[in-house]
Structure 1
Amino acid sequence: MKSDRRRSIVWNYFRKSADNKFVKCLFCSKSMRYFRNTTNLRLHLGRMHFDQVQNTDLTVENDTPEFTACKLETLEPLPVTFEIVSPESPSTSQPVVTEIEANCEKQEHTRTRSFVWNYFTKTIDNEFVICNLCSKTLKFSHNTSNLRQHLKSRHFIEPQETETVNESEAAVKYISETEIPEETHSIAYEIREVQEEADNQAEGSEIVLKIKSSSKTSFVWNYFNKSTDGKFVTCSLCDKVLRYFRNTTNLRAHLRSSHSNEFRNECLAEENSQEHEISELSKLEMAKEETARKLKIKKSIVWNYFKRDLNRNCAVCILCRKAFKVSNTTNLKDHLNRAHPNYTRKNKLPVIKTETSYSPAPKRMRLENYNATTLSDHKIKDINNSMITMLVTSYQSFSLIENQGFLEYSKKLQPLYTPPSKEQLLSTALPEFYSASVSELKMILELVESVSISIDAWTTNANRSYLTITCHFIYEDKLYDYVLATKEVFNVNCMENILPVLLSVFNEWKIFDKIVAVVSNDVNNIRKCMNILPKPYQSCVAHMLNTAISDALVADENLLKLLEKCRALVNYFKHAPLVSEKLENIQQQMKLPLLKVKMDRGSWYSRYFMMKRLLEIRDPLCITLTDLSKVPQFLDTSEWNVVSDCFSLLEPFELIVTELLYEKYPTMSLIIPLIRGLHYSLKSKTTQTEIGGLLKERLFSLTNYYLDSLESNKIAAKATFLDPRFKTLAFGSEDTVEYVQKWIEEELLEIMGTNDVSNSESSAQNESKESSFIWAYFDTKIAQRKSSATPFATITSMITQYLEMSNLERSKNWLEFWNDHKTIFPELYQIAMKYLCVPAAAVPPERLFSRHGRLSDTFRSCLPSKSLDQIIFLNSYLNRQESSTSRETLPNTDHE
C-alpha cells in the first residue's frame, strides 16, 4: 500500500545502507543509525552543516507539522532552538508532535527496562557499556547478564524489580546519547513537556520550542567572552585573546597557568559541589568495599613481607622491591610463590591457586594537598629518603643540602618542603633509612645457605684505617654483593685489633656458619685471623696480578730509564698547547685519526696505554719534533723496538684486566682458565731486543710464583670444575682433573650419604611397622644394602652425566645453566651455588685499573667518620644490582 506521506527533504543529504539500518551523510560521510525517523538526521544537519543547508527548507509538504532547524548560534551549543511550522490552513488545528512521538505512539506495547541501566551507560556504537560507579568498560551483547554479575561481584548490588519504560522513551534516550553533543544529552527527555505546551497554541501560529539543557555551564565562562564570529574568546582578567575550538581545554590551561588563584578557587568549589552530590547509597557501597579490603589486608600474613606505599597506592616487596597493586593479596601471594619459592617453602606459605575474582576497581587519582599549607610526616620522610639516596649513591657531600642554590631549587620543586639541616639529616633521617635497609638485607641473608666474604683494608685522608666487609652470595639464581659494614681499626698491623671486629660483624649478620671463603688484598694479619677462626682464606687475584707486573717492570734499570724518557716526551706535549695543535694538524694532513698522547700515572696499566699511544702516533710525532728547536730527548730506533716489545708482552695482561672488568666482582672460576691462556700467550710472543727478552722471562716466572698455585687450591679448582663453561678443559694436567673430581665426589658423598642412610632407615622402620613381622627382617636387609651402595653409584653417574654434556659458551650465563639443571643435579647444584659465589678480587677491579674507580676511592676517603659506615652501606645497597655474568658489551674503562 502506497503511503500518502511525502518524502522528507533530508534524504537529499543522506543515503541509506543496503539493510536500511544505517545512513551516510553526503557532506561529511559520517555513518549514523537509522531509527525509521529523521529526527537525528535533522539534528545532525542543523548542528554540523547549517551553512550548507541554511537556505534550504527542510519541511515536508504534507499535513503533518515537522521540526525545521532554525539558525543555530555558532558559538553557543546551548540552548538549541527548534521551530514548529504549521501549514496555513484555516480549517482545523492539528496537534503539534515530533516525529519521534509520532512513530513511538504507533507502538502500543511497552517493554520492561532493567534496573542495571541505572548504573551503566551505552557507548555510541552500542557495543560496550561503561559502569557509572567504577568507570569499567564491559562488552554489551544485547543482554544484561554480565552487567548484573558485575554489579553483584564488584559493587554488592543485588537484582531489583524492573521498571516499565515506553519504547518512545527508550528511543529518545538513545538518540540523545548518540547524536546530541555531550553537553545536551538530556534535551530529548524534555520534548514531551514542550509538546504539551505547543498543543495549546493557536492554529497557524509560529511556535518556538526552547529545549532547556540540564547540563551545567563550565565555570571558565565566568572569565571569558566570546567574539561575534565565535572563533575567539577574550580573557576578562588579562584581556588575552585565545582561539575557541568548541571546548574549554585551552581556556582551563590558560587559567591554570596565568591565573592560578582564581583557577584554584573554582576547582575547590567544583570539587566540593561534586562531593556534595554523591548519593548515600554510593557512600555506603564505597565504605563497604573499603572495609572489606582493609579486613583482608589485616588478616593476610603476606604483609609481613610487603610495605605499603600510600603515595602510589601499591605494595612493595621487601625481598625484591617490586611494586604491585593492592586491591587484594592474591597477586602478592602469587608473587611470593613464583619469585621467592625459598621463602614459601621455609615459611610454609600456602600456594594460592589462581581464581577468577572481581576485585574492587582502584579509585580515580585526585589532586592531593592542592590547598594544603603543610606536608604530612609521611611525605616529608619520603622526600628526605630520596635526598639521602641522591647523596649516598654518588658519595656527594652532605653540606650540599645547605647550599643556597640547592635550597632555592628544592623550594621551586615543593614550596611546602623545608630541607633539614646537615646535622638533622645525619643524626635522624640517615640512621632511620639505614636501619630499614639493614632489616631488609638481613631477611634475605636468612634464606641464603652459603656466602663468601671480601675484606678491603684502606685509609682515609685523615690517616684513619678502616676495614670494609662485603658479602657475596647467590640468591634466587642471581649473584649479589653487598657491603655489610665498614669498621675503623686503630692498627691494621695488629691481629688482636682485627679479629674482634670481624667476629662482631659475622655474628651481627648471623653468617658465621655460612662462610665458604674469605678474600682479602693479601694482608697477613687477616690471613692469621682466618687461621684462628678458622675459615678458608683466598688472596686477591687482582692485587697479585698487579704486583707481579709491577715487580717485572721495575727490575730492569734500562727499562725504567726508557719509560722515564717516554714520560718526559708525553709531558712536553701535555704542557705545550701549540705543540699539541701542530701534532693535530700533521695528523689531519696525513689523514690519520686525531689522537693525543696519554699520561703515565704510576701504574703499569697507565704505562701500557702510554706506550700503545706513542706507537700509534709514531710517524706524525717524529715529523712534529723535527720542526721544533727545543724538544726533549727523542727515541731512537732501538728504543722504539723496546717500546714495541714491552707493549706486545703486556697486551695479554691488559686482556685479562678487560675480562675482569666485565664483572663488578669476577668469580674465582674465571681465574684458572685466564692463567692458562696467559701462559700460552706469553710463550708464543717473540721479542726483538734484549730488554724485551728479559722482561718476558720475568713476567713468566712472577706470574707462576703468584698465580700458578691456584690450580691446586681446592676452592678455585672446585669453582672452575663446576663452571659449565670450563669443567675439566681449563686445567693443565690430567692429574689435577682427577684430584678435583675426587674432591667433588667426597663432598657429594658427605651431602648425600648421611641423608640417604637416614631416609632409608626411617622408611624401613615405617614399612616394618606397617607390614607383617614376617617381612621385617627382609626389608631391613634391603634397606641396609641400598644405604651402602646407592650414594657412590649416584655420585659417579651424576658427575659422568655432567661432564658428558657439552660445555656452555663463554658468553652464556652459567647461572641460567644451573637454574635449568638443578632438578637433574640437585646435590651438584647445591655445591655449585656454594663455590661459584667466591670472588676473585677483594675489591672491584675497576678501582685498581681505571680512573673512575680511583675517583670513587677518593670520594670515599672524604666521607664524615661518624656516618661513614652507614653511607658506604647505603651506597652499596641502593646501587645493588645482580652481578653480570654475560659479556655482551665492553666495560667503560676510563684510562685517562
Structure 2
Amino acid sequence: MSQNTAQKRTKRSFVWGFFEKINKGNSNVFRCKVAGCKTELSCSGNTTNRRYHLQSHHPVELREAQSGNRMSSDSSFNDDERDNAEGMHHQKQTSMRKYIKQSGISYNPASQKKKELDKALVRFIVKDIQPLAVVDDDGFAEFVHALDPRYCLPSRRHLRDVLLEQAYQKTVQHIGEILKPIKFIAITYDGWTSRTTQGYLVVTGHFIFEEKLSTATLGVIPIPSRSTSKNLKELIFSVLKRFPNVSVVCAVTDSGSNMISACDLMKMRHMPCAAHKIQRIVMVGISKTERSFSSKETEDFVEKIFCDDNDNVQNCDVSVYNVIVKCKRIATFFHHSSSANRSLEQELHNAKRQLTKISQPNNTRWNSVYYMLESIWKIGEALFAVLSKCGKWELDLTPAEKHLIPQILAILKPFVKATTKLSGDSYPTVNLIIPTTKQILTELNSLLSLSDNEVVEEETTVFEVSENNKDAKVVIDSQEAICFLKQLVSSTREKMLEYETRTASGFSTILDPRFKKHGFISESNYRMMAEKLKEELKTVMATQNRTHIECTSSIEPVPCVSKRAEYTFLNNITFTRHDRSIHSTAQAIVHLNKYLEDPITNETTDVLSFWTNYTACEALSAIALRFMIIPASSVPSERVNSTAGNTITDKRARLTPTFAEQLVLK
C-alpha cells in the first residue's frame, strides 16, 4: 500500500515542464519558459493557475503537450529523471511555430516585412469578419507557415489589444484626413441591440470625395443607458467632434420619436427614411386585408404575419393577408424539414424545372415577403405535390389562393424596385424619392386602369410578370387584389407625397437634370419648392458676394434617348423650350430660370458629374452638390448594424464593447 502511494506521489503533471521556480524576494514564483513569455505566477499547491495561463496564452503549446505520448503511469522515474524525460518529450514535440521562435529564423518584430504581414492579417480579420481565435487554429497556422515559414502569427490578445487598435486609430485618422477639405456631410444613425442586450448607436457619413459619392462609418458607440433623445444627442456629438471641419446638411433616420427629437435638439435638418415609409405602407396594407383588422391593432397584425399561430387564419377566407400567412407556414415547414426539401428537389428534377430555394420571410424588410411568394409561385405545383406526399394537406392553398399569388406579386413589384433603388449608397438617392413615388403611383394606377376622378366598380387589368424567364400575362381580376391595390394607392399618396414639401427631397428633384418639374406629382408643390430654391440661391450668392454672374452655359442640351427608360413615366414627356424672358430681378432668378428652361437630360446622366462640371452658376452647383449627398434611407447604418451583429455575437471573438467599432471602420 505504501509502495503504491509512493508511486502515485512521484507522478507529476506535464504542466510543470512549462515553468521554472525562481526566488523573488521573500517568496518563490513560477516563471513561464515558453519563448517570448516571462509571466510570473504565484506558488500554490496545484497547477490550476499555471494551466489557466497556458490555456489563455499558449493554447497551441498546451495542445501539443496534451496530444503527445504521455509518460507511463507505472514508470518509476524520480522527479529529476521525470523532468529530464518530459523536457526531452517536449523537445521532440516542438511545433513549427515554436521552433521558428527558438531558432531565431523568424522575422524580427520590428522588421518591415513583419509589420506588412501583420497588417495583411488585420485586413483579413476585418474584411471577412473572422473571429480572433483564427490565429489559434492549427489549420490556419499550417497554411500561413506554408506561405511564409518565417512569419509567426501573433497571439489573440496581441491581435486584439495592439494590432487592431493601431489599425483602428489609423482608420480614424485617415477618415479625418479625407474629411478635412469636405465642407458638408449628411449622416444617418440607427440603434441596434445585441443578444446580450447591449445597445449600440451607428453613425454613418455621406459626402463627395474625388467627384464620387462616398460613405464612411463614423462611429459604432455603445449606449451606456436608455436611448433617449438627449443621450442620442450626446453620443452623436461625441462622434462629430472628431471631424470639426464639416457641417451636417441633414440627418436621415427612421420615424422613431427619439430619433426625430435628437435631431431637433441638435438643430439639424431631419428627413425620414423612405425605405421605412415603404415598409410601413406595404405591411399595413397587407394587414388591412384581414377581415378582423382594427386600426388600433396595426402593429399586432404586422407582427402576426410572421408568426405561426394557426388561429390567425380563417381557412374559409380568401385574402392577401391569409395567403401570405399560409405561404409563411409553407416556407417554415420546408425550412425545418430536410426530407421535404429532398422530395422537392427530386420533384423539380423529374419535372426538369430549375431548383429554387423557398425564401424565409423576416420582419425587418418586407421585400422578404415578396421573395417568399415569388419562390413559391415559381416552384408551382411541384411544391403542393410534395405537401400531399408528406401528409401536410392543411398547408395546401385553395385554387382561389393560388390564383391570387401572381396578382399580389404584380401589385408589389413596383415597391420592390423602389426599395432597391432608394437603398443604394454609391449614387445620389434623395433626388429619386419623389420621381420614384410618381412611378409607383403611375404603375399602380395602370393596374387599376383609373384616372384620378374615374371610379370603376369592376376592374380587369393586365400586368407583365416573369416566370421561369418567360413573360406571362397576369390578369388583376380578383376583388381581394383590387381592394389591396386601392389601399396601397391611397397609403402611398398619404405617406409619400410629403416628400414633395420637404426641402432636401424637393430641391434635389428640381436640381436633377433628368427630372426637374417632371419628377413632381403636384404642380403646386413644384412651384412652392422652386420659389424656396430661388430664395436659397439668393442667400448663397449673397454669401459668395456674386452680384453679377454672366449667364453662359457650357453644358450642351442632351436629347432624351428613345430607349426604354428606367423611370417609365418619362417616356411620354414632350420636351419644350420656353422663350427666355430676362427680367430685372435678382440674378438668382435668372440663373435658376435658365437651368429650368433647358431640356431634361437622358436617364444615363451622371448627376454628380453634371453639377461638378456645371459652370453657368457656381452657387446653383454648390446647392445641388450639397443636397445630393443626402441618402434617401437609413439603410447604410442598418448595414453596419448587420456587420456589427455578425461580429459581436461570434463567441470566439471575445470582443470588447468598442471592438465592433474597430471592425466596421474599414
Regarding TM over 0.5, the answer is yes
C-alpha distance in 1 between matches for 2:599 and 2:538:
25
Would the aligned equivalents of 2:248 and 2:268 in 1 still touch at CA under 8 Å? yes
Q: TM-score, normalised by structure 1?
A: 0.49
C-alpha distance in 2 between matches for 1:741 and 1:873:
44
Tell whether 2:471 aligns with 1:738. no
Would the aligned equivalents of 2:213 and 2:428 in 1 still touch at CA under 8 Å? no
The 1:382–1:566 alpha-carbon spacing in structure 2 relative to 1, beyond 3 Å, is: same
Would the aligned equivalents of 1:642 and 1:688 in 2 still touch at CA under 8 Å? no
Tell whether 2:470 aligns with 1:683. no
What residue number does 1:413 align with?
Answer: 147
Aligned counterpart in structure 2 of residue 796 of structure 1, from 571, 578, 589: 589
State the 1:627 CA deviation: 6.6
What residue number does 1:856 align with?
Answer: 643
Would the aligned equivalents of 2:348 and 2:355 in 1 still touch at CA under 8 Å? yes
Aligned counterpart in structure 1 of residue 204 of structure 2, from 470, 476, 479: 470
For the residue of structure 2 that corresponds to 1:643, the secondary structure is helix
C-alpha distance in 2 between matches for 1:408 and 1:371:
17
For the residue of structure 2 that corresponds to 1:685, the secondary structure is helix
What residue number does 1:644 align with?
Answer: 406
Would the aligned equivalents of 1:749 and 1:791 in 2 still touch at CA under 8 Å? no
Would the aligned equivalents of 2:188 and 2:204 in 1 still touch at CA under 8 Å? yes
Would the aligned equivalents of 2:431 and 2:512 in 1 still touch at CA under 8 Å? yes
The 1:508–1:596 alpha-carbon spacing in structure 2 relative to 1, beyond 3 Å, is: closer
**Within-5 A mapping of 1:340-489:** 374=108, 376-489=110-223
What residue number does 2:497 align with?
Answer: 708
Q: Deviations over 1:37-69 (max 9, x none)?
A: xxxxxxxxxxxxxxxxxxxxxxxxxxxxxxxxx
Aligned counterpart in structure 1 of residue 359 of structure 2, from 598, 602, 608: 598
Amino acid at match of 2:274: V
Aligned counterpart in structure 2 of residue 842 of structure 1, from 613, 622, 634: 634
C-alpha distance in 1 between matches for 2:169 and 2:517:
45
The 1:419–1:584 alpha-carbon spacing in structure 2 relative to 1, beyond 3 Å, is: closer
State the 1:571 CA deviation: 4.3
State the 1:492 CA deviation: 4.0
Amino acid at match of 1:612: E
State the 1:593 CA deviation: 3.6
Amino acid at match of 2:410: S
Q: Deviations over 1:845-874 (max 9, x none)?
A: 985xxxxx9963531442779655465355
Tell whether 2:563 aligns with 1:806. no
What residue number does 1:717 align with?
Answer: 506
Would the aligned equivalents of 1:483 and 1:873 in 2 still touch at CA under 8 Å? no
State the 1:691 CA deviation: 2.5
Tell whether 2:423 aligns with 1:668. no
What residue number does 1:148 align with?
Answer: none
C-alpha RMSD over aligned residues: 3.2
**Within-5 A mapping of 1:189-208:** none
State the 1:695 CA deviation: 1.9
> Percent identical across equivalent pairs?
24
Tell whether 2:515 aligns with 1:729. no
What residue number does 2:228 align with?
Answer: 494
C-alpha distance in 1 between matches for 2:444 and 2:659:
45
The 1:803–1:505 alpha-carbon spacing in structure 2 relative to 1, beyond 3 Å, is: same
C-alpha distance in 1 between matches for 2:601 and 2:254:
31
For the residue of structure 2 that corresponds to 1:632, the secondary structure is helix
Aligned counterpart in structure 2 of residue 615 of structure 1, from 373, 377, 382: 377
Q: Deviations over 1:2-38 (max 9, x none)?
A: xxxxxxxxxxxxxxxxxxxxxxxxxxxxxxxxxxxxx
What residue number does 1:179 align with?
Answer: none
**Within-5 A mapping of 1:170-189:** none
What residue number does 1:545 align with?
Answer: 278
Aligned counterpart in structure 2 of residue 530 of structure 1, from 251, 263, 279: 263
The 1:858–1:704 alpha-carbon spacing in structure 2 relative to 1, beyond 3 Å, is: same
Aligned counterpart in structure 1 of residue 323 of structure 2, from 543, 562, 571: 562
State the 1:705 CA deviation: 3.2
Would the aligned equivalents of 1:499 and 1:529 in 2 still touch at CA under 8 Å? yes
Structure 2, unaligned runs of 5 or more:
1-103, 291-318, 449-475, 550-581
C-alpha distance in 2 between matches for 1:665 and 1:759:
33
The 1:611–1:840 alpha-carbon spacing in structure 2 relative to 1, beyond 3 Å, is: same
For the residue of structure 1 that corresponds to 2:613, the secondary structure is helix
Would the aligned equivalents of 1:465 and 1:489 in 2 still touch at CA under 8 Å? yes
Would the aligned equivalents of 1:665 and 1:845 in 2 still touch at CA under 8 Å? no
Q: Deviations over 1:387-435 (max 9, x none)?
A: 1111112222112112222223223333332222122222222222222
Q: Deviations over 1:205-247 (max 9, x none)?
A: xxxxxxxxxxxxxxxxxxxxxxxxxxxxxxxxxxxxxxxxxxx
Q: TM-score, normalised by structure 2?
A: 0.65
Amino acid at match of 1:830: A
C-alpha distance in 2 between matches for 1:754 and 1:531:
26
The 1:634–1:532 alpha-carbon spacing in structure 2 relative to 1, beyond 3 Å, is: closer
State the 1:711 CA deviation: 0.7
Would the aligned equivalents of 2:220 and 2:660 in 1 still touch at CA under 8 Å? no
The 1:524–1:665 alpha-carbon spacing in structure 2 relative to 1, beyond 3 Å, is: farther
Would the aligned equivalents of 2:274 and 2:422 in 1 still touch at CA under 8 Å? no
The 1:759–1:371 alpha-carbon spacing in structure 2 relative to 1, beyond 3 Å, is: farther
The 1:589–1:402 alpha-carbon spacing in structure 2 relative to 1, beyond 3 Å, is: closer
C-alpha distance in 1 between matches for 2:587 and 2:480:
57
Amino acid at match of 1:824: A
State the 1:494 CA deviation: 2.0
Tell whether 2:619 aligns with 1:827. yes
Would the aligned equivalents of 1:720 and 1:730 in 2 still touch at CA under 8 Å? yes
The 1:526–1:567 alpha-carbon spacing in structure 2 relative to 1, beyond 3 Å, is: closer
C-alpha distance in 1 between matches for 2:219 and 2:435:
33
Deviates most, 531-540 or 601-610: 601-610
For the residue of structure 1 that corresponds to 2:519, the secondary structure is coil
C-alpha distance in 2 between matches for 1:854 and 1:688:
42
Amino acid at match of 1:542: A
The 1:721–1:499 alpha-carbon spacing in structure 2 relative to 1, beyond 3 Å, is: same
The 1:623–1:457 alpha-carbon spacing in structure 2 relative to 1, beyond 3 Å, is: closer
State the 1:584 CA deviation: 4.8
Amino acid at match of 2:276: H
C-alpha distance in 1 between matches for 2:644 and 2:168:
21
Would the aligned equivalents of 1:756 and 1:791 in 2 still touch at CA under 8 Å? no
State the 1:536 CA deviation: 0.5
For the residue of structure 1 that corresponds to 2:187, the secondary structure is strand
The 1:745–1:668 alpha-carbon spacing in structure 2 relative to 1, beyond 3 Å, is: same
For the residue of structure 2 that corresponds to 1:811, the secondary structure is coil
C-alpha distance in 2 between matches for 1:755 and 1:790:
22
For the residue of structure 1 that corresponds to 2:244, the secondary structure is coil
Structure 1, unaligned runs of 5 or more:
1-369, 761-788, 848-852, 878-896
Would the aligned equivalents of 2:281 and 2:495 in 1 still touch at CA under 8 Å? yes
Q: Deviations over 1:430-479 (max 9, x none)?
A: 22222222222212212011111111111112111111111111123111
C-alpha distance in 1 between matches for 2:649 and 2:339:
37
Q: Deviations over 1:124-145 (max 9, x none)?
A: xxxxxxxxxxxxxxxxxxxxxx
State the 1:587 CA deviation: 4.5
For the residue of structure 1 that corresponds to 2:421, the secondary structure is helix
C-alpha distance in 2 between matches for 1:411 and 1:583:
45
State the 1:626 CA deviation: 6.3
* Number of equivalenced pairs: 473
What residue number does 1:254 align with?
Answer: none
The 1:516–1:629 alpha-carbon spacing in structure 2 relative to 1, beyond 3 Å, is: closer
C-alpha distance in 2 between matches for 1:591 and 1:627:
19
